[in-house]
A and B are shown apart, each in its own frame.
Chain A
Amino acid sequence: MSDQIDEGLRSELQKRGVWVTSTQELYNWGRKNSIWPLQFGLACCAIEMIATAASRYDLARFGGEVFRPSPRQADLMIVAGTVTKKMAPQIVRLYNQMPDPKYVISMGACAISGGPFKQGYNVLKGIDRYIPVDVYIPGCPPRPEALLHAFMELQRKIDGQKLTGQDKASHLDREQPSEFPVPAFGAHDLEPPSNPNIFRPPAIERA
C-alpha cells in the first residue's frame, strides 16, 4: 500500500503467471466497476440518461446499470437536467443521504451553469454551488456517448484515489464533511446563494 509496484517487475511476473496487486488497487477496482447511480432525472437530460442505461448504449458494460431508487444504496448522483431553485434543497438533501464514498456527475449545460435558462429567476446557476461535482458533461443535452465518457472519467478518477497519505480520498478523511448545508428559500433567492467552502468560481481578470 505504501509504494507503487514497479511496472516492469509486475509485467515480468505476469508472464510467469503471477499477478501482483495492492489493497488500494483491489479496492478501487471493485468500486469503479460497480458504481450504482441514484435513479432520478430532472429534465430532458434524464431522457439521454435513460437511453444510456437502456440496451443500445448499455451502461451495464461499465457496471453502472443498477439505478437505485434510494439514496442509501447509491454511489453516484447524476444531476441530469435543469435544477430549479425549488428542487435544489431536495437534491442537496438526497446527496447528504447518500453513504460515502459518493460522486456527482453534473450532466448538461443546465446542471453546470443554468444553461439556456441561466437568466431565469427560478433556475439554479449550477449544482456545484452546493455539492462537490466530480465530472462535468457539457451539452444540451449531452449524447449518451458523452455520459459514457463521463462515466469512464469517473472510473479513472476512482482508480486513482489513494487509501492513505495526505491526498487520500475524501471519504477516508475524517476532516472532510459528508453532509453539506441545505439551502433554504429566502425572500428573493436561495439562502445562502452558494456554499463558499466548495464553490470557488474562477475569478474574472479584466485588463
Chain B
Amino acid sequence: MTPDPYFFLVIFAGVALVFPLLPLGLAWIWRRFLQPPKPGPQKNATYECGVESIGEAQVQFQSQYYLYCIIFLVFDVEAVFLVPFAVAFTGLPFGAFIAILVFLLLLLEGLVWAWSKGCLDWARMRERAR
C-alpha cells in the first residue's frame, strides 16, 4: 500500500515542532537545574543602551501636521491626477468631468483653508514673530 501523498506534511509538521522545542526544552532544563536565573531591575529594564530612561513613553505629539498634509495634497497629489485628466480631456464622458471637477473643488477648498490659516506666507510670519 502506497503512503498517503500528504503524509510528508505530517513529517514536516513533526520536524517543525521538534526543531524549536528541543533546544528550548534543553535550555529550560539547563536553567532549572544548573544556572540559577539572576534577574534585577537593570537587567529587566526595557531600555538597554546604558542610559536611564526619563519620563513617560506615551507622549502626545502636536497635530499641526495636517496643514502640511493639505498643502501636499493640493500641490503634489493633485498634479498627478491633473496630468492624465488633461491628456484624456477630449475623450472624457460628462460624468467623469463632473467627478474630477468635484475633486478639484475639494482641493481648492483645502487651498483656501490653508491660505486663510496663514500657511502660505511663512516669510511674513517670521517678520511678525520678531
Contact = CB atoms under 8 A, between A and B. Distances in A.
A179 B36 CA distance: 14
Interface string A53-97: 000000000000000001110000000000000000011011011
A88 to B, nearest CB: 10
Interface in A89-148: 90-91, 93-94, 96-97, 99-100
Interface stretch (B3-11, B42-50, B58-66, B78-86): B42-50
B91 interface: no
Interface residues of A, number: 20
A177 interface: yes
B50 A179 contact: no
Nearest to B39: A178
A172 B48 contact: no
A66 B63 CA distance: 43
A171 B35 CA distance: 7
A178 B43 CA distance: 9
Contacts of B41: 179
B82 to A, nearest CB: 47
B contact patch SS: loop
A49 interface: no
A91 B36 contact: no
B40 interface: yes
Given A70-B48, A91-B50, A97 B34 contact: no
A13 to B, nearest CB: 26
A138 to B, nearest CB: 26
B38 interface: yes
B34 A96 contact: no
B38 A178 contact: yes
A179 B52 contact: no
Given A70-B48, A90-B51, A91-B50, A97 B43 contact: yes
A172 B50 contact: no
B49 to A, nearest CB: 8
A91 B50 CA distance: 7
Contacts of B40: 96, 178-179
Contacts of B36: 172-174
B48 A97 contact: yes
Contacts of A177: 38
A163 B36 CA distance: 12
A139 B77 CA distance: 62
> What are the 4 closest A-B residue pairs judged by CB atoms, nearest first?
A90-B50, A178-B38, A179-B40, A96-B42
30 contacts: A70-B48, A71-B48, A71-B50, A72-B48, A90-B51, A91-B50, A93-B42, A93-B51, A94-B49, A94-B50, A96-B40, A96-B42, A97-B42, A97-B45, A97-B48, A100-B35, A100-B38, A163-B34, A172-B34, A173-B36, A174-B36, A177-B38, A178-B38, A178-B43, A179-B38, A179-B40, A179-B41, A179-B42, A179-B43, A182-B42
